[in-house]
Amino acid sequence: MARRSRPNPVESEPFLGPLWSAAGGAGSASLTTVLVALAANFLVAVAKSVAAAVTGSASLLAEAAHSWADTGNEVFLLIAYRRSRRPADRAHPFGYGREAYVWSLLAALGLFVAGAAFSVTHGVQELLHPAPATDYVVGYVVLAVSFVLEGISFLRSVRQARRTADLMERDLIAAVMATSDPTLRAVFAEDFAALIGLVIAAAGLGAHQLTGSSTPDAVGSILVGVLLGGVATFLIDRNREFLIGEEARPRVRAAAIRALLAEPEVARVTYLRLEFVGPRLVSVIGDVDLTGDATESNVAVRLRALEAKIDASPAVAGTVLSLSAPDEPSLTE
């Protein structure tokens, strides 16, 4: 049976409220964060490309590749946002939320190939076949402007991440690593890497100007590539973990057990699994023992009613409950 979609979840839902808070943030905030990053990265990519062509700096060319890779990644993240919010149907009763992790994984792979591999390869080629750089002022101006634009995008992702961190009761970095929202994690990580990459590029360009040798510039290109490779590997691994099945945190699971036991229909909970099936969405699978000694048909009706009540939560994509066996131990929290 198809579950109804929840395109615009809210945080006021009483049942499994802690789960919604732990998942963090509203979808519209993620969309805004991606759009800001897309605009910033596109402008920065154009500026860096022009500066790289004018100056001949290896570090600037690596940073241009970095920004074009980020721009392409934001397009993938927009696709992820749109496709993951399609309503559930008979073939996908829990919805299409996991598509967010598929497209975010492709974006991370793009960052690895188009950004990291290109930057390292170009840096090695520059070491083997050095070329002088010129018009350093143009490079410095473009790097400064790029830092401002990337900083605006990064601050936007930080504001969203801080709200998520407060809801999850974690520090900022831990919340970004743990959040079920891959778009927030990707934009935060990419913008943070971009700011570090700009510092590396500026140092490489400055050392090239001071020494007259292209070696520092080439090394800067390689370092940018290594940085991007590390960020891409982290993003790939986190998306992989959500694709194969990431459970909600123990604190959230305990809150869900308490919420179930608070239901007058529920006498015991013997099994409960809360697994993320998309950004801010989980599936609920559990075994419960109902109160009273009702007939089989009445028990089935009561189970379906309880499932429907849980499904009313914006944090829940779908619920499947079964009856507990008499000898199964009870869960407390």
* Cβ count within 10 A of residue 74: 25
276 against 6, higher pLDDT: 276
133 against 71, higher pLDDT: 71
Give the span between the Cα atoms of 44 and 299, in whole angstroms. Answer: 61
250-323: CATH topology is: Alpha-Beta Plaits (3.30.70)
Same CATH topology for 25-245 and 250-323? no
Q: Could you tell me which of 17, 18, 19, 4 has the C-alpha nearest to residue 281?
A: 19
pLDDT for res 296: 65
Consecutive H or E run containing 293: none
Burial 277-301 (b: 16+ CB within 10 A, else e): bbbbbbbbebbbebeeeeeeeeeee
Could you give the percent of the chain with pLDDT greater than 70?
90
Query: Average pLDDT in the 200-204 region?
Result: 89
- pLDDT interval class at 27 (50, 70, 90): low
Q: Backbone phi, then psi, for 332, in 5-degree steps?
A: -100, -60
pLDDT for res 3: 41
Average predicted confidence (pLDDT) for the chain? 83
Query: Average pLDDT in the 202-226 region?
Result: 88
* Cβ count within 10 A of residue 159: 12
**Position 13 pLDDT exceeds 70:** no
Give the span between the Cα atoms of 97 and 166, in whole angstroms. Answer: 24
pLDDT for res 126: 82
Strand, coil or helix: what is 9? coil
- pLDDT interval class at 239 (50, 70, 90): very high
pLDDT for res 270: 94
- pLDDT interval class at 221 (50, 70, 90): confident
pLDDT for res 14: 45
**Position 2 pLDDT exceeds 50:** no
Give the span between the Cα atoms of 214 and 131, in whole angstroms. Answer: 6
pTM: 0.81
Q: In the beta sheet, which residues pair with residue 272?
A: 286
Residue 218 near residue 126, CB atoms below 8 Å = yes
**Residue in the block written with tokens 């109902």:** 290
pLDDT for res 9: 36
* Cβ count within 10 A of residue 31: 16
**Residue in the block written with tokens 């154009």:** 46
- Domain ranges within the chain, ordered by starting residue: 25-245, 250-323
pLDDT for res 269: 93
Range in 7-21, 32-46, 268-282, 292-306 with the lowest mean pLDDT: 7-21
Could you give the percent of the chain with pLDDT greater than 90?
19
Residue type, 244: I
CATH number, domain 25-245: 1.20.1510.10
